[in-house]
Amino acid sequence: MRPASSNAAFEPYRPRYTPEAFRDTTLDPERLRRRLLTMTVLVAAEHDKVVGTIAFSLAGTEGHLRGMAVLPDRQGSDIATALLSRAEADLRARGCTRVTLDTTEPLERAARFYRRRGFAPTGHVGDFFGMRLHEYARSYGGGADAARGADDCRVRPATPADLAIVLHHRRRMFEEMGFRDAAALEKMLEVSSTLLGRGLADGSYRAWLAETPDGRVVAGGGIIILTFQPQEVSMVFVPL
């Protein structure tokens, strides 16, 4: 990952950081090289553009997350959730039973995001180049469950009652591909609502949703089953 890609995510916070803290948070080529040698680094990419990153390490059964960053124009999307979920899944697959992370006070939005994801403040506050650094932690089930890297989510079939969620995912799919015309997106949803609503009811559209234990849908996918033979393809897959 090019340092400039991750550093852009922290640039709006520069005035609230001490110079030393900001230099340690952002990456120059040498810091990037050291991180790659000591941690596993994951990136989220849209086509050939890196839009987010996270790093993690594991010592025994305790993991540590660092360097979560999403480009400013992609914040508020599902990128951060996807990065964190993948990092946690990898840690749990390696036997991690507890994971920690640190965040500074200016990163209030990040702290709220971590709390929603099950992280809680430990009460430990350190000094980070003249700034208060708050530790958060999350524990996982131990034993065989953790060794398997058990997933928090279950997958279930979508029903007609899930139409609003399916349409939301469909809109986000087009937005992720770069489509930003609000009027065109609304027209697409108007057409899709009729087609997919009817398909969920009669079985010509079949979808599955990934759901957390608290009932939050975090992913989905589906297919449209055609009753005729197209000239070019025999089946159309509609990703959510």
- Return the minimum-mean-pLDDT range out of 29-33, 109-113, 158-162, 205-209: 29-33
Domain membership of residue 18 as a residue range: 3-147
Which among 147, 178, 197 is the end of a domain? 147
Cα separation, 202 vs 209, in Å, equals 18
Question: HEC profile for the chain?
Answer: CCHHHHHHHHHHHHHHCCHHHHHHHCCCHHHHHHHHHHCEEEEEEECCEEEEEEEEEEECCEEEEEEEEECHHHCCCCHHHHHHHHHHHHHHHCCCCEEEEEEECCCHHHHHHHHHCCCEEEEEEEEECCEEEEEEEEECCCHHHHHCCCCCCEEEECCHHHHHHHHHHHHHHHHHCCCCCHHHHHHHHHHHHHHHHHHHHHCCEEEEEEECCCCCEEEEEEEECCCCCCCCCCCEEECC
Which pLDDT belongs to residue 145? 44
Q: What is the pLDDT of residues 165-207, one digit of tens each?
A: 999 999 988 888 888 888 999 999 999 999 999 999 999 999 9
Which pLDDT belongs to residue 177? 84
Kindly state whether residues 128 and 167 are assigned to the same domain: no
Cα separation, 99 vs 105, in Å, equals 20
Kindly state whether residues 100 and 162 are assigned to the same domain: no
Kindly state whether residues 137 and 186 are assigned to the same domain: no
Which pLDDT belongs to residue 235? 47
What is the pTM for the complete model shown? Answer: 0.61
The chain-wide mean pLDDT, for the chain, equals 85
Which pLDDT belongs to residue 231? 58
Which among 123, 147, 171 is the end of a domain? 147
Q: What is the pLDDT of residues 113-155, one digit of tens each?
A: 999 999 999 999 999 999 999 999 999 875 444 444 445 678 8
